[in-house]
Amino acid sequence: MKAPKQDIQIAQRGRSQGNQVSVWLKYRFATWLASIVWKLLKITLNRNRVGFEAVQALVETDQRIVLSFWHRRLVMMPLCYPFRRRNADDETRGVAILSSDSKDGEISAAIWRHLGIHAVRGTASHGGGAQGLVKMIQVVRQGWDLGITPDGPRGPRFDAKPGAIAVARKTRAWIVPVTIAYSNVWQLKTWDGMLIPKPFSKVAVIYAEPYQVPEKIEDETPYLMNFQEIMMDLENAAEEFFQ
């Protein structure tokens, strides 16, 4: 699946982006190279899926899904979504993910596009959380599935925000909590403890049971607490899977 091509989109916040050559090298060539490294790493991995059948059944019946995974397991997220979709107008559809309009967001968006993922530009910070939520709702209504990190983009680690529940409630999409377990990893010294599998590792994509939330909710708190519990159970399962 080829994601839509987009121009470089970076919000201006008082800093120069550099000349055209440096911009191309940073936001086009380097991101293409990163995607090649990702694909080469993927080839070496011994992969399997757990709980995939329920998710596959939703896709086969043309239901929208919201894949939810902790930020620390973001790097190999594309492994969670092996589907190829088209809408009623025969337009390509697949999975979309929100990337901020910052420099870092442009880098991640470009890498996602090289990997066939539709990057929705917006922000969940700088006071733009509502704007980001609206864009995620819109993209699901346009026929895309959604990937979301409930503790992203800057944490705290394992602290679920209500975005996934809000999108699922407004669009009637199914929440699909998911994680990825690795037999051997590098752990980066980042706020989330980002995990990158070592070459030739065993990898397991673990899906929890998909579920929907009611369209009309007076208080999201119990639903958010349940979502948090499911996500933490998955994280613990991933940590123990290859032990």
pLDDT in tens, 51-102: 999 999 999 999 999 999 999 999 999 999 999 888 778 888 899 998 877 7
Range from 33-47, 109-123, 150-164 that averages highest in pLDDT: 33-47
Query: What is d(CA 145, CA 217) in angstroms, rounded to the nearest whole number?
Result: 22
Angle between helices 103-114 and 30-44 (to 10 degrees): 50
pLDDT at 37 over 50: yes
pLDDT of residue 14: 39
Phi, psi of 169 (to 5 degrees): -65, -40
List the domain range (segments joined by +) for residue 77.
20-240
The tally of CA atoms less than 13 A away on the side-chain side of residue 75 is 21
In a domain? residue 185: yes
Q: For residue 28, give the DSSP letter.
A: I
Q: Do residues 152 and 124 touch, judged by C-beta distance below 8 A?
A: yes
Q: How many CB atoms lie within 10 A of CB 142?
A: 13
Question: In residues, how long is the chain?
Answer: 243
pLDDT at 13 over 80: no
pLDDT of residue 18: 63
The enclosing domain of 152 has a CATH number of 3.40.1130
Name the domain count of the chain.
Answer: 1
Which pTM does this prediction carry?
0.88
Q: How confident is the model at residue 21 (pLDDT cuts 50, 70, 90)?
A: confident
Of 224, 7, 18, 39, the closest CA to residue 110 belongs to 7
